[in-house]
């Protein structure tokens, strides 16, 4: 299993691989810039080169990027939508420069304009960004959401609706977040529910669309539609849930990434806990 965590880029993007290795990560997730600011200075080519070299030196199998939380590709407000598309396009450029294939993002919020209109705008935004980039190098990885407020993407059907509307469906996939999915109403806590959830995923989206998994326990109950992450084993999902994930053969090549509270302070211990749940193969 490929296990890792969301790693800070403090001090420079090129420092992230060494930081990830110090936390015992096999893979990692990063922001490509300050995720709470719309603008950022251009990515330095030398820094990108050092990042790629350090990925090899510190033996990080895969890196993924999570885009800025400010972006809303489903916004009905023209100014916000234009800015969101522009910044997302920049995220794509940064990912390509760093040699990162997977760009993970929350699909967007319809902001009371209606679910169907919101889904349509998200697909249109992604098609625009793909056309402007002129490349299929970066994969669009839509993250399932808890469905809080007017946020879209809280069901496999909504995610499939967006992907089915893309001009380039071959470079699109899904990030399954355990906390978000449980809060959205998917029972992944019981063996029966776990199997049913991924049977549904396969039927609706296809298992080949599963590009990443966020491993987060949850502070809230199933179907609450509230996004509240908790440390592994300390929330309502419990260790039994994560034991199923780390022993699922279908997930063996899928990066599994922690985004839990306290971050670097607890990641090493949480990764140790997750690895302790992996059954030894005979």
Q: Where are the domains of the chain?
A: 3-276
Output the pLDDT for position 35: 87
> What is the predicted pLDDT for the residue at 103?
98
Q: How do residues 64-113 score in pLDDT, each as one tens digit?
A: 999 999 999 999 999 999 999 999 999 999 999 999 999 999 999 999 99
* pLDDT value for 39: 86
Secondary structure of 189-210 in the HEC alphabet? Answer: CCHHHHHHHHHHHHHHCCHHHE
Rounded Cα gap, residues 33 and 91, in angstroms: 9
pLDDT at position 40 over 90: no
Residue 282 pLDDT > 90: no
Beta-carbon count within 10 A of 202 CB? 15
> What is the Cα 205 distance to its own chain's centre?
16
CATH of domain 3-276: 3.20.20.150
The mean pLDDT value of the chain amounts to: 96
Residues 175-184, mean pLDDT to the nearest whole number:
98
pLDDT of residue 27: 98
For residue 45, the model assigns a pLDDT of 95
Question: For the segment 189-237, what is each residue's pLDDT rounded down to a tens digit?
Answer: 999 999 999 999 999 999 999 999 999 999 999 999 999 999 999 999 9
């Amino acid at each position: 299993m490929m296990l890792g965590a969301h790693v800070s880029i403090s001090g420079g993007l090129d420092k992230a691989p060494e930081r990830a290795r110090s936390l015992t990560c096999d893979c990692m997730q990063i922001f490509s810039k300050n995720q709470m600011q719309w603008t950022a200075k251009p990515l330095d080519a030398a820094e990108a080169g050092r990042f790629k070299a350090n990925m090899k030196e510190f033996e990080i199998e895969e890196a993924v990027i999570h885009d800025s939380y400010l972006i809303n590709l489903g916004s009905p407000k023209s100014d916000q939508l234009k800015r969101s598309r522009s910044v997302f396009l920049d995220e794509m450029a940064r990912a390509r420069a760093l040699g990162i294939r997977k760009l993970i993002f929350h699909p967007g919020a319809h902001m009371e304009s209606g679910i169907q209109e919101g889904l349509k705008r998200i697909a249109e935004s992604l098609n625009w960004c793909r056309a402007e980039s002129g490349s299929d190098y970066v994969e669009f990885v839509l993250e399932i959401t808890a469905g809080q407020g007017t946020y879209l993407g809280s069901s496999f059907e909504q995610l499939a609706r967006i992907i089915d509307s893309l001009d380039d469906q071959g470079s699109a996939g899904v990030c399954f977040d355990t906390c978000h999915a449980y809060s959205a109403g998917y029972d992944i806590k019981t063996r029966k529910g776990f199997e049913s959830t991924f049977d549904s995923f396969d039927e609706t989206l296809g298992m080949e669309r599963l590009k990443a998994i966020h491993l987060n326990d949850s502070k809230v109950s199933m179907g609450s539609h509230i996004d509240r992450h908790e440390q592994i084993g300390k929330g309502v999902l419990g260790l039994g849930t994560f034991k199923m994930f780390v022993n699922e053969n279908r997930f063996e090549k899928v990066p599994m990434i922690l985004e839990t509270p306290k971050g670097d302070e607890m990641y090493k211990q949480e990764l140790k806990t997750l690895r302790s749940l992996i059954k030894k193969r005979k």
